[in-house]
Amino acid sequence: MKAIIYSEVGEAEVLRLVDKDVPEPEAGEVRVKVAVSGVNPTDWKTRSGATNPKQFDEVTPHLDGAGVIDAVGGGVDAGRVGQRVWLLMATQGRSTGTAAEYAVVDDWQAVPLGDASFEAGASLGVPALTAHRTLTVGEGGPDRLAPGALDGRVVLVAGGAGAVGHAAIQLARWAGATVISTVSGPDKARLATAAGAHHVINYREGDPVTEIRKIAPDGVDTIAEVALGANLALDLAVLRTRGTICTYANDGAKPVELDVRQNMLLNTRFQFMVLYTVGKEALAAGAEDIAAAVRDGAMPVGEEHGLPLTRFPLNRTADAHRAVQDGAVGKVLVDVATD
């Protein structure tokens, strides 16, 4: 099979296209013929050595993807063969991810995709699971998502034109929340609106705090935050008492300084998160809820749905990494299947 590998960390040039043996699934595993692989910021950061030390002598990257199960290991329902699936956290604890014609994962990591497109499936994974977590950690809020789970609640999604922001808008709206998104300009406002945000506010213009408070006089319940240092003052100005700020990144790397008394009076809940350490139970629950949203048609992709897709063939995976590293808006995908 064709696969992308790297044996040393560094710039995108370390990625190489090679021929490898097709892997065989062991007990509790499935093998997926990959159609589309999804690229996330964590993929290039791991490849570059910017985050965790390299664990394996040789790595095939990418956590996310979609395809068809073509073989199962012992103890797995043989009826899964032929099932269209999306994959999550494929490289966690493994040296091989979805940037290859075949990928082996644990049974639970291959989630039924139904009739949704492979590009939609490859766009789920990290962004959708991250979004799910931001919406299910608030005090007094649900720990699972379904239609009606967020009825009466107001969610603020920072950076609604990003992949996580896009998924957070879609999931929050599907679950019944009033969704506000902040963006940096009109093009991104158009994308956040297309994703389903009820209200979109350019935080670089006018008085965004006043605009948000007009929509939510008592404050917002939950904030899905991508740039905590840059946005903290705005977040605290619009957060309701006992509200939650769930941060999954700190874009811009501005230091975070907390006014302890202000947060005491608000009873602010801060939730910091990264998927690698949330645990299997949270990942599996998120995957189940996301699959339900997909079945309901609530998570489409494409520019007309607020998530532009940038695509590369497998032999240009290095260019796909560069695109993500350079801040491509939307989702970057690698087309693996050639038929």
| Predicted confidence (pLDDT) per residue in 72-122, tens digit | 999 999 999 999 999 999 999 999 999 999 999 999 999 999 999 999 999
Q: What are phi and psi of 183, to 5 degrees?
A: -140, 170
Cα–Cα distance for residue pair 31/50, rounded to 1 Å: 30
Judged against a pLDDT cut of 80, whether residue 338 lies above it is answered with no
Residue 91's contacts (CB-CB under 8 Å, 6 or more residues apart) are 46, 59, 60, 61, 62, 63, 97
Q: How high is the pLDDT of residue 53?
A: 76
Residue 320's contacts (CB-CB under 8 Å, 6 or more residues apart) are 39, 310, 312, 332, 333, 334
Judged against a pLDDT cut of 70, whether residue 235 lies above it is answered with yes
Among the residue ranges 23-27, 49-53, 97-101, the one predicted with the least confidence is 49-53
Q: What is the pTM of this model?
A: 0.96
3-state helix, strand, coil split of the chain in percent (to 5) is 35, 25, 40
**In this structure, are strands 84-87 and 64-72 parallel, antiparallel, or unpaired?**
antiparallel
Cα–Cα distance for residue pair 160/231, rounded to 1 Å: 14
Cα–Cα distance for residue pair 164/172, rounded to 1 Å: 12
Q: How high is the pLDDT of residue 186?
A: 96
The rounded Cα 253 to chain-centroid distance in angstroms is: 20
- Number of helices followed by number of strands (H, E) in the chain: 10, 15
Give the pair of three-digit tokens for residue 182: 């902040």
Tell me the mean pLDDT in the region 192-209: 97
The rounded Cα 265 to chain-centroid distance in angstroms is: 32
- Closest of 148, 142, 192, 199 to residue 170, by C-alpha: 192
Tell me the mean pLDDT in the region 192-198: 98
pLDDT digits over 271-306, tens only? 999 999 999 999 999 999 999 999 999 999 999 999
Q: How high is the pLDDT of residue 52?
A: 74
Please report which confidence band the pLDDT of residue 339 belongs to, taking 50, 70 and 90 as the band edges. Answer: low
Burial class (CB in 10 A: 0-12, 13-18, 19+), 277: exposed
Q: Which residue has the tokens 């158009």?
A: 190
Cα–Cα distance for residue pair 194/185, rounded to 1 Å: 14
Domains of the chain plus CATH, in order, are 2-123+307-335 (3.90.180.10), 128-274 (3.90.180.10)
